[in-house]
């Protein structure tokens, strides 16, 4: 039986919504089949008021052991480092986070905000938000780069906005069944099993990408063309399994005609949401994508793109998924 305590900081509850939609396993399965003891969760916890406060203090003081401390949302440090923009159960949330992280066997950041600061940490960041162990791509965040939980692990970052339900539940199952040592992390502390491949991997538009055939307009044949060239798709630069582990078991953003906006990466949201940057490929000299697929150089990419366009077969200019 592994105890799980879940708190929320600067969050929209999106990761909670995602978690509650889990199917393999479901949240019920986690409790009945995998022995998760859900000590408290903002949407599922039964305790309120003084009872809840006592429970939290018992966890924070080590009276009640916490095996897995899950945090959703950014850590709000403002104003002036006091954290009083986010008060929960009579004290700044950041104080709860510090105490609970010190007691937990494992600390898990769920979502981009808890992992890297996410949307709340976007400039000018009025709440002084940050991630648990990273601020954007920089190690540190709230707990510091050297933080290790009682089990000797750094914060496990399940990035995403939101994280896919399977990414959350499968990591919780691994931790709850004593397989923490099997979770290999990348340099941003994301589980490699989910964050090594790209959104691009398995996208049904890959044939179009290969021959540099662009989608022409939103809603104009959502299954035709690739969204990289005009619509700002970040699939080739974003580490996620979104086209391998489908959403709702059937689709993904890019399959539905929506560009990947890179929500599993520390820079998300990109370009500080400046007008004209969302859903628009940023280009140099009007034609060259400012960012090319990870691992490719601009010159190599340009040469390959030109050749691919010339050699594009006729099928690459059509909708391949006509029913």
Site membership for ligand SF4, residue 15 (CB under 6 A):
no
Q: Which is nearer to ligand SF4, 94 or 240 (CB)?
A: 240
Site membership for ligand SF4, residue 261 (CB under 6 A):
yes
C-alpha dist (Å) from residue 234 to 34, 168, 223, 294: 36, 23, 17, 10
Nearest approach in angstroms of CB 113 to ligand SF4 is 13
C-alpha dist (Å) from residue 15 to 31, 152, 160, 195, 235: 18, 25, 9, 17, 21
DSSP run (H or E) holding 129:
strand 129-130
Closest residue (Cβ) to ligand SF4? 235
> Please, what is the Cα angle at 101 between 174 and 81, to 5 degrees?
140
Site membership for ligand SF4, residue 118 (CB under 6 A):
no
Nearest approach in angstroms of CB 255 to ligand SF4 is 8
Dihedral sign computed on CA atoms, order 193, 197, 198, 199:
negative
Select from 226, 237, 292, 305 the one that contacts ligand SF4 (CB under 6 A): 226
Provide the token pair at 16: 């909670």
Q: Are the C-beta atoms of residues 136 and 122 closer than 8 Å to each other?
A: no
Select from 115, 238, 281, 316 the one that contacts ligand SF4 (CB under 6 A): 238
Nearest approach in angstroms of CB 49 to ligand SF4 is 37
Nearest approach in angstroms of CB 159 to ligand SF4 is 8
Site membership for ligand SF4, residue 253 (CB under 6 A):
yes
Residues 161-200 close enough to bind ligand SF4 by CB under 6 A: 199-200
Nearest approach in angstroms of CB 235 to ligand SF4 is 2
Site membership for ligand SF4, residue 292 (CB under 6 A):
no
Site membership for ligand SF4, residue 135 (CB under 6 A):
no
Strand ordering across the sheet containing 2-8: 36-40, 2-8, 68-72, 106-110, 156-158
Provide the token pair at 184: 């290999």
Long-range contacts of 33-39 (CB under 8 A, 24+ apart): 34/172, 34/173, 34/176, 34/177, 35/1, 35/2, 35/176, 35/177, 36/1, 36/2, 36/4, 36/172, 36/176, 37/1, 37/2, 37/3, 37/4, 38/4, 38/6, 39/3, 39/4, 39/5, 39/64, 39/66
Q: Which is nearer to ligand SF4, 74 or 254 (CB)?
A: 254
Site membership for ligand SF4, residue 203 (CB under 6 A):
yes
Q: Which is nearer to ligand SF4, 54 or 136 (CB)?
A: 136
Site membership for ligand SF4, residue 209 (CB under 6 A):
yes
Select from 16, 254, 281, 316 the one that contacts ligand SF4 (CB under 6 A): 254
Site membership for ligand SF4, residue 38 (CB under 6 A):
no
Q: Are the C-beta atoms of residues 128 and 77 closer than 8 Å to each other?
A: yes
SS3 at position 98: helix
Nearest approach in angstroms of CB 227 to ligand SF4 is 4
Site membership for ligand SF4, residue 252 (CB under 6 A):
yes
Site membership for ligand SF4, residue 235 (CB under 6 A):
yes
**If binding means CB under 6 A, how many residues of this protein chain bind ligand SF4?**
24
Residues in touch with ligand SF4 (CB under 6 A): 160, 199-200, 203, 205-206, 209, 226-228, 233, 235-236, 238, 240, 242, 252-254, 260-264
């Amino acid at each position: 039986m592994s105890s799980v305590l879940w708190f929320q900081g600067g969050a929209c509850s999106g990761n909670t919504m995602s978690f509650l939609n889990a199917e393999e396993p479901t949240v019920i399965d986690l409790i009945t089949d995998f022995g998760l003891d859900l000590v408290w969760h903002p949407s599922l916890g039964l305790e309120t008021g003084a009872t809840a406060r006592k429970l939290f203090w018992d966890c924070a003081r080590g009276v009640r052991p916490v095996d897995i401390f899950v945090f959703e949302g950014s850590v709000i440090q403002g104003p002036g480092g006091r954290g009083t923009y986010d008060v929960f159960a009579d004290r700044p949330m950041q104080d709860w986070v510090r105490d609970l992280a010190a007691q937990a066997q494992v600390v898990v950041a769920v979502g981009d905000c808890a992992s890297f600061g996410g949307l709340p940490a976007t400039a000018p960041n009025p709440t002084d938000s940050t991630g648990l162990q990273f601020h954007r791509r920089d190690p540190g965040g709230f707990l510091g780069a050297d933080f290790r939980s009682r089990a000797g692990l750094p914060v496990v970052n399940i990035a995403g906005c939101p994280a896919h339900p399977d990414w959350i539940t499968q990591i919780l199952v691994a931790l709850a069944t004593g397989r923490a040592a099997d979770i290999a992390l990348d340099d941003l502390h994301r589980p490699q099993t989910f964050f090594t491949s790209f959104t691009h991997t398995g996208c049904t538009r890959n044939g179009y990408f290969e021959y540099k055939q662009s989608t022409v307009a939103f809603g104009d044949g959502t299954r035709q063309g690739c969204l990289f060239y005009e619509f700002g798709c970040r699939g080739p630069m974003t580490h996620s399994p979104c086209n391998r582990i489908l959403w709702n078991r059937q689709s993904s953003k890019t399959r539905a005609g929506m560009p990947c906006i890179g929500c599993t990466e520390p820079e998300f949201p990109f370009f500080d949401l400046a007008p004209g940057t969302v859903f628009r490929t940023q280009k140099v000299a009007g034609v060259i994508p400012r960012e090319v697929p990870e691992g490719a150089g601009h010159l190599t990419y340009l040469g390959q793109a030109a050749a691919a366009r010339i050699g594009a077969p006729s099928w690459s200019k059509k909708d391949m998924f006509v029913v």
